[in-house]
Structure 1
Amino acid sequence: MAKILVVEDDNQLRHNIVEQLELNNHEVRSAKNGVQALEVIQTFSPNLILCDIMMPEMDGISFIRAIKSDPYYSYIPFIFLTAKVAQQDLIQGLEEGAVDYLPKPFLHKELLLKVNNITNQQRELVVRQLQQSIADEEPDFQFAKQFTELLERHFSNAALTAEQMAEEVNMSLSAMQRTIKKNFQSNFSEMLKEYRLQKATNYLTQTDHSIQWVADRCGFSSLSYFSYCFKEAYQVPPLQFRANNQLSANNK
């Protein structure tokens, strides 16, 4: 599941996009122009912004400039939704930092594929950046090392909270979340879930323990929630993932 902000002045189109994304298990907020979107983003940190270009009060170009000028939000990728298909309009949007365009009218399947491709890449990047920051001894090496060690120590604890982790790294909760955001473009809950799922793939492919055992060992509060998160991340249920990987190993 990704967090997505939809900025579109057409009420029906905005409603349709939000509905399609929510049906695909994304968490969605919406706004009808850039002014509203700037208010929404104060309390909702999206992984992706879908934005119309021609809107009242603040159009898409002005909005992306505002976002890209703020270092706290500048990393968020944009997909522009637009009826303007002139070459210079497309170039302008890309020059401002958009990663893609969807000319109106567009197929909802095409939108969902683009959204899923971008958010899946973000999820994979979180783990790679965590590993790379340790390997390269980046400026926040000590934090990354300590944070990873604590994830390894506590990932099995289903009751683990961000407050407990902040106390362990000797930071306030807000300071820890800012440091995680700065280094990994993520937050504590997303990092913890991703780490647990990575451990789960190891247990599924390297042991014959039951799915219930894997869920419990990886800190998931219930088997159903574990199965839901796993399928959301890897597109197949845990048992099918195990069978697929065992089959691949047998074919080598």
Structure 2
Amino acid sequence: MARVLVVEDDVQLRENICEQLELNNHQVRSASNGVQAFELLPGFSPNLILCDIMMPQMDGITFIRAVKRHICYRSIPIIFLTAKVAQQDMIQGLEEGAVDYLFKPFLHKELLLKINNLTNLRTEFLLQQSAQSAVGNETEIQFVKSFTEQLERHLDDASLTAECMAQTMNMSLSALQRNLKKYLDRSFSEILRDYRLRRATAFLVRTDLSLQQIASRCGFSSLSYFSFCFKEVNGQSPLRYRQKHQLRANPD
């Protein structure tokens, strides 16, 4: 069973797809455009997204760009649903990160097979990764676990540096940087910012803390810097993000 987000502006087609997926034991949410779909992501965390290209408010190409820009969602595979068959349109979608296409009209069996094949492939890949880690990467597991624990422990420390982190973990700065590059393939500052933004997003969604309190608790030196970083990643301000989520969770 997979969690599938269906993004399609044609009501009849959207409902038909959702019905077929639910009959095959998939958990489904739906939206009529990219704006609504993006608002559903925090509370649903889909394994796969089926997305039309031509939609009002936010089309499929704009939507996939927003998804791939977000650290929390960029790994979600997206299959485009489209009546457009021009090769240049296919190339554009693949360049933006789509993993496959379904051309309208399509058979339900084709849809289900593509979903099952893709989700099974991802499951096998994750299991293989887990098995390999358990067998041969104990050092990596321990390093990442320890590093993440220290990130959480120093979440509210706006002055945290790579040098301080290395000292906390009882290793040299060069060793820390080498391990971060080897195991996470990112710099300390990139990892720290993304971790703090993920925690801040959780606070926005799950608590009533003020923006200033969230910024302080997540180690941002000022509210303005927090807002700048959040908007750069999410495409909207923290306040706007929270308002949209609250409207979705508490409809009139």
- CA deviation vs aligned residue, 1:163-186 (integer Å, no higher than 9, x gap): xxxxxx9x99xx9xxxxxx9xxxx
Q: Name which structure has the greater RCO, CA cutoff 8 Å, separation 6+.
A: 2
* Matched residue, 2:249: none
Give 1:133 shift. Answer: 2.1
Give 1:131 shift. Answer: 1.2
Give 1:72 shift. Answer: 1.1
Q: How many angstroms apart in 2 are the aligned matches of 1:57 and 1:13?
A: 19
Change (3 A) 1:105 1:42: same
Q: How many angstroms apart in 2 are the aligned matches of 1:102 and 1:136?
A: 39
Aligned partners of 1:78 and 1:99 also within 8 Å: yes
Give 1:144 shift. Answer: 8.5
Change (3 A) 1:12 1:4: same
Change (3 A) 1:129 1:11: same
Give 1:143 shift. Answer: 7.6
Q: How many angstroms apart in 2 are the aligned matches of 1:114 and 1:129?
A: 22
* Matched residue, 2:42: 42
Aligned partners of 1:4 and 1:28 also within 8 Å: yes
Give 1:71 shift. Answer: 1.6
For residue 41 of structure 1, give the secondary structure of its aligned residue in structure 2: helix
Aligned partners of 1:133 and 1:144 also within 8 Å: no
Q: How many angstroms apart in 2 are the aligned matches of 1:122 and 1:5?
A: 16
Change (3 A) 1:127 1:36: same
Unaligned runs of 5+ in 1: 147-168, 176-181, 183-252
* Matched residue, 2:78: 78
Q: How many angstroms apart in 2 are the aligned matches of 1:64 and 1:138?
A: 35
For residue 44 of structure 2, give the secondary structure of its aligned residue in structure 1: coil
* Matched residue, 1:62: 62
Give 1:132 shift. Answer: 1.6
* Matched residue, 1:229: none
Aligned partners of 1:5 and 1:29 also within 8 Å: yes
Change (3 A) 1:138 1:32: farther
4+ long deviations beyond 4 Å: 143-146
Which residues in structure 2 correspond to 1:63-212 (within 5 Å)?
Answer: 63-137=63-137, 140-142=140-142
Unaligned runs of 5+ in 2: 156-183, 185-252
For residue 42 of structure 2, give the secondary structure of its aligned residue in structure 1: coil
Give 1:127 shift. Answer: 1.3
Q: How many angstroms apart in 2 are the aligned matches of 1:86 and 1:60?
A: 16
Change (3 A) 1:44 1:139: farther
Change (3 A) 1:129 1:89: same
Q: How many angstroms apart in 1 are the aligned matches of 2:63 and 2:111?
A: 21
Q: Give the aligned CA root-mean-square deviation in angstroms.
A: 2.6
- CA deviation vs aligned residue, 1:26-45 (integer Å, no higher than 9, x gap): 00000000000010001010
Aligned partners of 1:130 and 1:144 also within 8 Å: no
* Matched residue, 2:26: 26
Aligned partners of 1:134 and 1:145 also within 8 Å: no
Give 1:120 shift. Answer: 0.8
Q: How many pairs align? A: 152
State TM-score, norm by structure 2: 0.56
Aligned partners of 1:3 and 1:46 also within 8 Å: yes
Identity of aligned residues (%): 68
Q: How many angstroms apart in 1 are the aligned matches of 2:14 and 2:117?
A: 21
Give 1:140 shift. Answer: 4.3
